[in-house]
Amino acid sequence: MKFLMKQLKSQWLIILVLLVSHIFRAHFTLLLPSYTSDLVDVGIQNSGFEYAVPLAMNQDDYAHLSPLLSQEESETLATHYYQDNRGNYVLHEAVQKDDVQMQALQNHLIEAMALYQESDSLPQEAYADRDAAYEQLVAYGENHVHNLGVQTALSFYRNAGYNPHDIQVRYLLVQGSIMVGIALITVMIEVFAFYLSSILGANVGKQLRSETFDKVLHFGETEINQFSTASLITRTTNDIQQVQMTIAIWFRGAAYAPFLALGGMYYVLNTQKSMAWILAVGVGVVFGLIAGLMALTMPKYQIVQKLFDKVNLIAREVLTGLQVIRAFGRQGYETKRFDQANEKLQGTHLFTGRVMSLIGPTITLVMDITSIFIVWFAAQNIASGTMQVGDMMAYITYSMQVMFGFLIFAGMSMQIPRALISLNRVREVIETSISIHEPHESVVLEDVAGVVSFNDVSFTFNDAEEPSLEHIDFTARPGETTAIIGSTGSGKSTILNLLMRFHDVSEGSITIDGVDIRQLSLRQLRDLIGYVPQRAVLFSGTIASNIGYGVENLSEPELERAAQIAHAEEFIQGKAQGYDAPISQGGSNVSGGQKQRLSIARAIAKDPEIYIFDDSFSALDYRTDRSLRQVLKEEVSDATLIIVAQRISTILDADQIIVLDEGRVDGIGTHEELLESSSVYREIASSQLSEEELAQTSDANESEIEMEGFDAPKI
């Protein structure tokens, strides 16, 4: 939650505007039912007559009304009406158009106007005792009194020779236009709120994506392994998408619902308090239903996310290993494995889907039953004169809006736990503490020579029990080639990864020109090194963009030089577009050897002080391997070369060879020295070279095993 708040904090302005627009939207939405009520009660039932005030009356009616009027009321009539040429008493236009004056006049005349309707049924004595008679009328409710008054005004108007139809049409038109206006404003606010909530979701999504991406870019191997690449991809895509969608939907609907529900309740309580219990029961039942559904589905939603991970994992594994699966004829097995995971996911989805499909009809039923109760009790109130038909209609609408508000709020809030699971997965990535730290105060190396020293270095992986490297001690000097050889899993790549600070040493230290690499900024350390990984990685773009990846604005001659040294020029020139030939994602449109050459050219283009090659030559044929190293040595004669290799022929001419055996140094020396001193080295050498070659190489005459007739390219 704290994390969510932090993400939302930066969006406070959008949230504020959204909430304000929701308040306006609820306000306008809640205005409509009372207009509908007026349309029925005034517009239809009372022919558009809003006030119990005669707009006009003939002399007879005036005479009949007079005995019911007090002295003061008679004076009021006299001042507000004038006599037209037919002798009718007509209300002044200005008063007719002024609601305040009409209301005041109505307050003044209502008693007489209401009693007038009843005058035929009232005994003469009661007629004379106006107060007592009026009290009898009020007992039926104010609505009843008002209706009687309006009926009097209406009949006076007719008797005076006017047609009330015009007034009714005018009233319906005005009210209708206002209602259309309100509806339009509501729609506009709604569209605006939709737009804002989408922006809000998209902003938070973008924020999370860039925070995750930035974080992952700083991850060391340890953190990558902790999450796995597949999971990191799901977290940056699917999980963030889930959070983004929930935020957009929640702020669009759920944030609006309380305003609608509370506003509706206010109107309900203001109209008919006595019937509020029906609504309370309805809302209670809706809440009970939703709580029950949540209890049923929520645990399943948690499972869905995990099952989704599983399906993702299998899908990724299958897609990346498609060739192997086909080669080993394991399609059937993989299909079954995928189907199992997929069916589990489908089963869980079906369960939640079925439960959710119940929600609509059940809630509609509850709402309908509530409406029936409202109509039942309202009918009694209408009969007793305390309520009008239009009021009942408005009451039903308000009640439905209240229930709907609660429903939307609860229904949409059900999405939150799901989104929180996703948000938590994203938070884990963003809040992971990175094991490789920048130094507090970095040392800046100048005039770097490139002397790399491993000083009694040991290293244990986080999740491993045994150390992968123990007491590694050697120095690689500029102008020299240091080779590292050893069996699979002996720790060769780990040594290079420690030098790149993909991991930090557990014990001992690694220095460059005597400075601990942990004191150098990561930027400077990695700028000093040209790294060629074991598996060449290319990026989508062109050949030129891949070679120039580590350098800004690489000049054309530099680009060509790097390609020449890496022996990539020939195949580049063979392409119609040359250096501008496209490279597809992951370099899938070039061969393994070509990929490796481009990867080597990329390191050379950086012109670094230290080169590290992690078994980078094994994808090259023997000839190219030899020639490339020869040219490289000539061209970058001042640099420190560290080469990890599996092939003895690759390292025969190295100035020093470090033999690794199960994470320990078994021997350091030249080829000839090691043949003498290291049994491990001898074993590797004898497994790869013939007796003859061994004898030759031990005479330090490696050139004799060179391929004949091969010329290195001229640089």
Ligand X SMILES: Nc1ncnc2c1ncn2[C@@H]1O[C@H](COP(=O)(O)OP(=O)(O)OP(=O)(O)O)[C@@H](O)[C@H]1O
Contact residues toward ligand X (CB under 6 A) are 225, 461, 463-464, 468, 486, 488-494
Give the SS3 label for residue 710. coil
Give the SS3 label for residue 139. coil
Find the shortest distance in angstroms from Cβ 660 to ligand X: 7
Find the shortest distance in angstroms from Cβ 258 to ligand X: 50
Does residue 543 contact residue 598 with C-beta atoms inside 8 Å?
A: yes
- Residue 378's contacts (CB-CB under 8 Å, 6 or more residues apart) are 272, 275, 387, 391, 392, 395, 396
* Whole-angstrom distance, CA of residue 599 vs CA of residue 533: 8
Does residue 608 contact residue 529 with C-beta atoms inside 8 Å?
A: yes
Does residue 279 contact residue 268 with C-beta atoms inside 8 Å?
A: yes
Closer CB to ligand X, residue 498 or residue 572?
498
Find the shortest distance in angstroms from Cβ 457 to ligand X: 13
> What is the residue whose two structure tokens read 């005994």?
123
Find the shortest distance in angstroms from Cβ 636 to ligand X: 24
* Whole-angstrom distance, CA of residue 474 vs CA of residue 488: 20
Closer CB to ligand X, residue 51 or residue 613?
613
Closer CB to ligand X, residue 7 or residue 490?
490
Find the shortest distance in angstroms from Cβ 708 to ligand X: 31
Largest interatomic CA distance in the chain: 145
Assigned token pair, 344: 């589990």
Indicate if the alpha-carbon torsion angle 168, 169, 174, 175 is positive or negative: positive
Amino acid at 404: F
List the one residue out of 524, 670, 522, 533 whose CA is nearest residue 595.
533
Closer CB to ligand X, residue 411 or residue 663?
663
- Residue 296's contacts (CB-CB under 8 Å, 6 or more residues apart) are 355
Find the shortest distance in angstroms from Cβ 219 to ligand X: 13
Does residue 614 contact residue 495 with C-beta atoms inside 8 Å?
A: no
* Whole-angstrom distance, CA of residue 517 vs CA of residue 84: 107
Assigned token pair, 396: 């039903």
Label the pairing between strands 481-486 and 656-661: parallel
Task: Write phi, then psi, for 669 (nearest 5 degrees).
Answer: 165, -170
Find the shortest distance in angstroms from Cβ 683 to ligand X: 15
Find the shortest distance in angstroms from Cβ 494 to ligand X: 3
Find the shortest distance in angstroms from Cβ 677 to ligand X: 21
Query: How far does Cα 40 stand from its chain's mean position?
Result: 47
Closer CB to ligand X, residue 299 or residue 489?
489
Task: Write phi, then psi, for 567 (nearest 5 degrees).
Answer: 60, 35
- Residue 225's contacts (CB-CB under 8 Å, 6 or more residues apart) are 462, 463
Find the shortest distance in angstroms from Cβ 508 to ligand X: 16
Instruction: Output b/e per residue, 545-578; b: 16+ Cβ within 10 A.
Output: bbbbbbeeebeeebbbbbbbbbbbbebbeeeeee
Find the shortest distance in angstroms from Cβ 667 to ligand X: 16
Q: In whole angstroms, how far apart are CA 396 and each of 37, 130, 372, 373, 376? A: 11, 37, 9, 10, 11
Find the shortest distance in angstroms from Cβ 611 to ligand X: 17
Closer CB to ligand X, residue 119 or residue 494?
494
Closer CB to ligand X, residue 33 or residue 491?
491
Does residue 357 contact residue 283 with C-beta atoms inside 8 Å?
A: no
List the one residue out of 655, 352, 321 whose CA is nearest residue 483.
655
Find the shortest distance in angstroms from Cβ 612 to ligand X: 12
Find the shortest distance in angstroms from Cβ 488 to ligand X: 4
Cβ-in-10-Å burial (0-12, 13-18, 19+) of 80 comes to buried
